[in-house]
Chains A and B, each alone.
Chain A
Amino acid sequence: MRTLEQTTQEILTLAAKHFGVPEGSLAPGDDFFKKLGIDSLQALDLLSRVENHFGIELPDYEIQGVSDFQTLAQRIQSRL
């Protein structure tokens, strides 16, 4: 079982790889819309990758209003 820290780190790595930014440039508290300059559709795209990676399904409503990696990681963690 992953810890929340591990889950968060894996999400940061996925996001950095997907959007082509240096891995160390993203932090758990970052607003991913702002930091990555992405819109809501691109955020959904990221979520799909996160789901595939963790092997879970996260309904769209679960990320309603979520804009930072830390909160996203908490939502993922609760379904692992």
Chain B
Amino acid sequence: MLDLRKYDSLGGALHAALDRFADEVCLIEADRDREKERLTYRQFKEQALPLARALEDAGFAGGDRAAAAAGRAAIIMTNQPKWLISAAAVFFAGGVLVPLDYKLTADEQWQLLAHSQARFLITEYPIWRQLAPSPRRAQAVVETVLVTEAPPGADLSGARRWEEFRGPSGTKGEPQFVARRREDPACIVYSSGTGGRPKGCVMTHENYLEQCTALTAIYPFWPGVRYLSILPTNHAIDFMVGFIGPFVCGAAVVHLRTLRPEYVREAFPRYRITYVTLVPLVLKNLRNGLQARLDALPPAKKAVFRLLRDVNKALTRGRPRPWLSRRLLSQVHQAFGGELLTIIVGGAFTEPETLQFFYDLGIPVANGYGLTEACTAITVNDMRSFRADTVGKPLPGIEVRILKPDAEGIGEIATRSRAVMSHYLGEPELTAETVVDGWLMTGDLGRLDASGHLQLFGRKKNMIVTQEGKNIYPEDIETVFEGLPVKEFCVFAANYVWPQRTMTGEQLVLVVHLEPGQALADALREEIAARNRRLLSYKRISGYVLWEEDFPLTTSLKIKRTVLAEQLAKLDRSAAVIPL
């Protein structure tokens, strides 16, 4: 691994890695059961540097000018090598990267592009086909668009082909490496806010270098390690453990162009995967599949399996012993390729039973706790010893405090470290509310136990996180209900109104205040359902509440959400929420 203390920027560290590990495999791209491409670090460099040069030739202005739009480049791509090659080129040229979620709608993406002020956009042809015709395009300042994998003769709507991009003059040669300071912005990462108020976390080079050092101290990479990248790379976790972490250690990243469960399963043995990050939903799916296979074993084999699992449990009580577990439970481990060290789970809360299920089979699942604002992870389960009931201990160099703990020690989690973001882009007030004296207020509720492990107990903030790791803010989905023929409405996270002290089973509810004399007719119910269907499935409300009083409003006629939530809390949740 590179000694990251020697580097001031991601561009500097990545550039050094490309030389240091030149002959190691760095990227494997597969589509279904076909391998499409395999690149060494040298070959990666042979693509990244000319792209950096072409960007510079096209007016991409990194360095101190990166504070302005001309040094900002957004990427909207699925997980694939060109994502990482493009990002490395942007960092090499001293630019600021804006990684956006390819799963957002075109309107949402243009809104975030406009907010970030990115002047360059790197995307895939199918995504560009959705983006280009959107009327919201006019809001953004994007001038240069590069698209990958466009078919011959395709209408590019003003974009240029990534594969042929060589700047206006077609000049060749080494790009100019643009040095950055540790405190300079490296990325603008949107944690939420597509429908309402975009929250662009400005992350510095120091944030990433510090977070990478802390994480790899517990879960190291080295040449030969193969990381299966499934979470979108724009997500803080995959950006760190599916790009920066493996690269500064000379490891390889495997990209799949489809996430169909059968191909994901096949990828483990085919590429002898060492690490993978999954969201809780996928982990649970894996568990159910394994459980079904175990249940189907003949009685005698089942008894032998249980015996071996119990032996494994006894021998791995203190810490994981992968080589031993692989021998004891070889069939299970062979299905995962036989070299899987750890499954990292992130993006949302994971139920302890699922974590324990895998640990008992000798497959440790590294759960943790983190926020985009804290770079990636604040705590991680270090497995010494494994505690399924917690989200682990704070990473080296990261402080965690519980604010105003109640009698049970539960209060808001605050964290302080060099990995905490610089600020929210263009939101000084929101930044001041969120980062107080260097402490990041997470809005989550937790407790530190005697051994320093963190346990989570719900949220203080009005939002939910789905099992797929999606953060949904009620304000962001309210626009779909605008014009609903009622006096007023508001969307809430049910657990915000009625605290549950749990991180599971979260739901969104629509609170409706009808006009005087108005009845809840079938037509209105149907309209609510129809509007709800316009939302992506994971963003939908699951029920509604009829409220008979006027909403409390501010002088500027905005809903006082906190006050309304307090009023709603007096209702009995199970009786008040009508399922949709």
Which residues of A are at the interface with B, using a C-beta cutoff of 8 A? 31, 33-34, 39-41, 44-45, 47-48, 57, 59-62, 64-65, 67
Contact = CB atoms under 8 A, between A and B. Distances in A.
B484 interface: no
Contacts of A47: 260
A61 B78 contact: yes
B533 A67 contact: yes
Interface size class of B (residues with CB under 8 A): 20 to 34
Nearest to A40: B468
Nearest to B126: A61
Contacts of B124: 61
B355 to A, nearest CB: 19
The listed residue with most B CB atoms (<10 A of its CB), out of A31, A34, A61, is: A61
A40 B537 contact: yes
Nearest to A57: B32
Interface in B105-137: 105, 124, 126-127
Nearest to A38: B537
A67 B32 contact: no
A33 B124 CA distance: 27
The A interface, classified by DSSP as helix, strand, loop or mixed, is helix
25 contacts: A31-B533, A39-B281, A39-B468, A40-B281, A40-B468, A40-B538, A41-B261, A41-B281, A41-B282, A41-B285, A44-B259, A44-B260, A45-B261, A45-B262, A48-B262, A57-B32, A59-B257, A59-B258, A60-B257, A60-B260, A62-B126, A64-B102, A64-B103, A65-B103, A67-B537
B126 A48 contact: no
A48 B78 contact: no
Contacts of B285: 41
A47 B259 CA distance: 11
Given A33-B537, A39-B281, A65-B536, A45 B126 contact: no
A61 B102 contact: yes
B395 to A, nearest CB: 30
A68 to B, nearest CB: 8
The 7 closest A-B pairs by CB, nearest first: A33-B537, A44-B260, A61-B126, A48-B260, A41-B285, A60-B258, A67-B537
Contacts of A62: 126
Contacts of B105: 65
Nearest to A68: B533
A51 to B, nearest CB: 9
Nearest to A39: B281
Contact of B259 (A34, A39, A60, A65): A60
B132 to A, nearest CB: 15
B261 A44 contact: yes
B260 A45 contact: yes
A33 B532 CA distance: 13
A61 B282 CA distance: 18
A12 B257 CA distance: 26
A18 B561 CA distance: 44
Contacts of B102: 61, 64
Contacts of B537: 31, 33-34, 40, 67
Nearest to A47: B260
B108 to A, nearest CB: 11
A30 to B, nearest CB: 10
Nearest to B256: A60
A74 to B, nearest CB: 15
Nearest to A43: B537
Contacts of A59: 126, 257-258
A21 to B, nearest CB: 18
Contacts of A34: 537
Nearest to A41: B285
Interface in B374-418: none
A57 B260 CA distance: 12
Contacts of A64: 102-103
Contacts of B78: 60-61
Given A44-B261, A62-B126, 20 more contacts: A40-B281, A40-B468, A40-B537, A41-B282, A41-B285, A44-B259, A45-B261, A57-B32, A59-B126, A59-B257, A60-B78, A60-B258, A60-B260, A61-B78, A61-B124, A65-B103, A65-B105, A65-B536, A67-B533, A67-B537
Contact of B127 (A44, A57, A61, A67): A61
Contacts of A57: 32
A70 to B, nearest CB: 12
A60 B232 CA distance: 13
Interface string B259-294: 111100000000000000000011001000000000
A51 B315 CA distance: 45
A65 B106 CA distance: 11
Interface string B528-539: 000001001110
